[in-house]
């Protein structure tokens, strides 16, 4: 599940080389629930990038998705930004669909 989750994260950065679109085109169909989920994910991700920084947010999200042990500071940021509830859950949900 790590690779599909990282691909979805890369897709949020528009850097997945359209792999997600090839293997799960429904994710980009605005009329589907997963398409709407992706739109909302992108909106939230962009707002968090502006607050926290692009590089920092991406690295923190990557650590969360591949279950790297987090520092106390990273754990605080995740809790403050509510990343587990807001982003991680939906990215993993889309990753599950992508992996099928």
Q: Tens-of-pLDDT digits for all 100 residues of the chain?
A: 899 999 999 999 999 999 999 999 999 999 999 999 999 999 999 999 998 888 999 999 999 999 999 999 999 998 888 888 878 999 999 999 999 8
**Around 56, how many Cα atoms within 13 Å sit in the side-chain half-sphere?**
11
Domain count, the chain: 1
User: What whole-number distance in Å separates Cα of residue 99 and Cα of residue 3?
Assistant: 9
Give residue 50's domain range.
2-99
Record the pTM: 0.91
pLDDT given for residue 72 in this prediction: 94
Show the CA angle centred on residue 49, arms to residues 47 and 53, nearest 5°. 145
State the CB neighbour count (10 A cutoff) for residue 7: 21
CA 58, 88, 55 angle in degrees (round to 5)?
Answer: 5
């Amino acid at each position: 599940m790590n690779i599909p989750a990282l691909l979805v994260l890369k897709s949020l950065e528009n850097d997945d080389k359209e792999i997600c679109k090839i293997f799960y085109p429904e994710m980009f169909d605005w009329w589907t629930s997963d398409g709407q989920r992706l739109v909302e994910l992108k909106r939230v991700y962009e707002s968090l990038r502006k607050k926290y920084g692009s590089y920092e947010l991406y690295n923190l999200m990557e650590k969360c998705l591949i279950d790297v042990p987090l520092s106390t500071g990273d754990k605080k940021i995740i809790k403050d930004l509510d990343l587990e509830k807001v982003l991680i859950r939906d990215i993993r949900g889309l990753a599950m669909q992508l992996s099928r």
